Amino acid sequence: MLAIKIWNYLKGYVIIKVEGLTLERLLNLAASNNVYLWDVKRIDHTVIEMKATTKGFKALKSLVKKVGCRVEIVDKKGFPFILQTLKKRKMLGLGFLMFWGVVILLTSFIWKIEILGNEQTAQEEIIKTLKDHNISIGKIKYSIDKEKTRQILLENFDYFSFLSVDIKGTKLTIEIKEQDLPPEEVNKDYPCHIVAKKKGVIMKVVAKNGKSVVKKGDVVKEGQLLITGIINTEEDNENGFLVHSEGKVLALTRYSHIVEESIIKKIEEETGEVYKERGLKVKDKGIQFIKGDVPYKDYIEVINEKKIINLDKFNIDIPIKIVTYEFREVEIKEVKQNLDFLKKSSQIRATQEINKELPDDVQIVSKDVKYFIEDNILKTQVIIETIEDIGKKQIINNRED
């Protein structure tokens, strides 16, 4: 179907309108005389609109006379008619050629890099690696070796199990699949201590290997030694021997978060007055054609972008846009919020933030909520106490560790 449309466009076709009382007879005669018509639409009881090739239109004119109808050309489409227009208007023709020259030039560059499948690796890190090897936005796409790009990324990120590089239009697409990275652990062949990864009050110590140096009720700080991997003996009390410490150190820990919310809330209501400016944007840089200062004291700004040349259906992104800046006047009003509702919503927000920090295996012991009001600002503090394993392993590099 697409091939037929392209062929008709190259040969040229006309959109015609036929008026009369014998339209069905005309269509039957056209079919029996092999006159190709398409996109036939009935406008009303006596009028139809359709498309025909230039050759088909000439043949149709004689059939129209036979059945007593009238025909007229609504529009002419296709490459031959464009050429006729350009021959009559040389400057327009020159502009047409320049336009397509610019389009061809712009479509020769990479204007977008899309990274898919990166769950553990930051997109910025991949983009930086590509940039370090001269692969970036603005690069001529024909100079990018897809296989070489693939090898560069595999060498720099050895945990990628799958990687493909593709260029469509002006977009470079990199699809990756990452291996699951195991948590960083201390090899059991290395001697190590267990130290505190956060502040807490010791509740219980279970030293499976190594020796506990803290007891229940001790307050410990981050980095403090909990289970030592240096074991002294009666024979050698000074030097001892080194072991790989194993065990759990359960401690009472505290998580706290404060949310501040204004009791007097300012809301913006649009007045209906709008001031507009236009600009041009190329990629991420824009030029604003300023007419003057915004004539409103309070306003909100709305930016609308529209591509000058839209070739998205061909997967070609030309980064030139017309930008419309709308400045909408607003009136600012102060509204006093319901204090009970504000306390509940602030408590929920603070609790949600704490939940992001809590380890999976933590045991929640208590929760406390405190409210403070100062200068029309409600401060909500949520404190959650938990029992958790605060130990982490630390390799022993020397006797002083």
From CA 197, how far away is CA 224, in angstroms rounded? 8
What one-character DSSP code corresponds to residue 292? S
What one-character DSSP code corresponds to residue 71? E
Ranges of CATH 3.10.20.310 domains, the chain: 112-178
Ranges of CATH 3.30.70.260 domains, the chain: 2-82
Along the 401 residues of the chain, how does pLDDT read in single tens digits? 556 677 777 788 899 998 988 888 888 888 888 888 888 888 888 899 999 988 888 888 888 888 888 888 888 888 777 777 666 666 655 666 676 677 677 777 888 888 888 877 888 888 888 888 888 888 888 888 888 888 888 888 877 878 888 888 788 898 888 775 555 566 777 899 999 999 999 999 999 999 999 999 999 999 999 999 988 866 555 667 889 999 999 999 999 999 999 999 888 889 999 988 887 777 666 666 666 688 888 898 888 888 766 666 666 666 777 888 889 999 998 899 999 999 999 999 999 999 999 988 899 999 999 999 998 999 999 999 999 999 999 988 765 55
From CA 193, how far away is CA 203, in angstroms rounded? 19
* CATH class held by domain 2-82: alpha beta
Cβ-Cβ contacts under 8 Å for 197 (sequence gap 6 or more): 222, 390, 391, 392
* pTM (whole model) above 0.85: no
Three-state secondary-structure class, residue 150: helix
CATH architecture entry for 112-178:
Roll (3.10)
